[in-house]
Chains A and B, each alone.
Chain A
Amino acid sequence: AQSVTQLDSHVSVSEGTPVLLRCNYSSSYSPSLFWYVQHPNKGLQLLLKYTSAATLVKGINGFEAEFKKSETSFHLTKPSAHMSDAAEYFCVVSDQTGSQGNLIFGKGTKLSVKP
């Protein structure tokens, strides 16, 4: 069965410092992986997705993630945090093993950015 583990429930960084949000997955085949961001009282916004093309995926707002099959990881990074990056981030894997498909969500990582 597919699963997603976000290793940190809360990450706090200072403005201008790098961001690392960790995500590990389990899958019996090559999955599609996504990172979504949810700002307070807002819906989900797609940051980036991996769909078996380039392993280094660049997304919006300076975020990127690297798919590492050997480590079953898809960590999200950003070189320099902005105050506006404070939000909750979800790592998601697409599960196509059933006829209906499904999205498996991690439990989320809340990112705080200190001035």
Chain B
Amino acid sequence: SQTIHQWPATLVQPVGSPLSLECTVEGTSNPNLYWYRQAAGRGLQLLFYSVGIGQISSEVPQNLSASRPQDRQFILSSKKLLLSDSGFYLCARLGQGGTEAFFGQGTRLTVV
């Protein structure tokens, strides 16, 4: 089966602290992976996507970065969190020509 593990589920961090959210994928190789964010009262926005190891594309300028150190690992990071980084972060992949979508459980980040 194709499973996405994402952790932690919830996180409360002070402003200025670093961030690392991890996403790992099972059951497939060389997946296209995505990080989305849902800010309060808004829809899900694509932040980054990766088509392979070391290949990261950013959709919006921001305080965050992403890395793909291994084929099935996708990491979202920040050196210094801002209040505006609060939100619900979701790791995802597409499968089978875009007819399937798989999601992690999400991380609810609150920056205080």
Contact = CB atoms under 8 A, between A and B. Distances in A.
Contacts, number: 57
A60 to B, nearest CB: 15
A96 B106 contact: no
Given A43-B90, A94-B101, A103 B43 contact: no
A95 B99 CA distance: 10
The main secondary structure of chain B at its interface with chain A is: strand
Contacts of A105: 36, 43-45
Given A103-B34, A107-B43, A44 B98 contact: no
A102 B104 contact: no
A44 B99 contact: no
Contacts of B49: 100, 102
Given A90-B44, A105-B44, A44 B32 contact: no
Nearest to A102: B46
B90 A32 contact: no
Please classify how large the interface on chain B is, using the bins under 10, 10 to 19, 20 to 34, 35 or more. Answer: 20 to 34
Interface residues of A, number: 24
Given A41-B108, A44-B90, A44-B103, A101 B98 contact: yes
Interface string B51-95: 100000100000000000000000000000000000000101010
Contact of A95 (B10, B98, B104): B98
Nearest to A97: B98
A99 B103 contact: no
B81 to A, nearest CB: 20
B43 A90 contact: yes
Interface in A64-115: 90, 92, 94-96, 99-103, 105-108
Nearest to A95: B98
Q: Rank and list the top 3 A-B pairs by shortest CB-CB distance, nearest first.
A: A107-B43, A94-B98, A43-B105
Interface of B: 10, 32, 34, 36, 42-46, 49, 51, 57, 90, 92, 94, 97-101, 103-106, 108
